[in-house]
Structure 1
């Protein structure tokens, strides 16, 4: 309970950056499971995507920083393939993107955040804000 309370206080103080009001393009709140001792609980994390003209590359910042596990990296590659297939129309891709879990310093693993990551990417691409009260 003490760890959970400290995380909550960090959000309220602005040390842990989580928006819970308004709407932002390319930004969603995700949840990840953390363990301390024998306790496991969900913690919010900001997922940010940026899109721009490019040659089809989706940069997985977690993987580049060696903080992304194999399953997470595979999920991001699947998202990249989806975006290329959906938006290239048989032409060479002209989209590039970056994707990151902000303020996470341990390994990000698993594919459960794929929908949140896709929402962040599509929001950035279409400049469509996403409600920050959702995770």
Structure 2
């Protein structure tokens, strides 16, 4: 069952009043994860627009305008879009790893990672946060 299907199933159980407390927690966590993903996508769209504007400004500063060789701009847009897409894919991959490596016992911090790493925060999570693992 996909994450989406699981959330829909939990939402249906909650709506019918038959969800267990743990299912309510899982539904809340899933909704939070979806909201974080939406925020990530929105930030990516905003960053992409800002990047395109910066590139356009740089070209204009360099004297490449529509009146003076403006045909260079359309050739650069695909490269800029590809860089933005790569950044989006990297951010999405980080979020997928974070979804796998999270505190297994949020009510009792420091116990274990959900991916079975044995400690929390685990080495993977510390690496994502740019913290040095304990050696």
State TM-score, norm by structure 1: 0.26
| Greater share of strand | 1
Which of 1 and 2 has greater Rg? 2
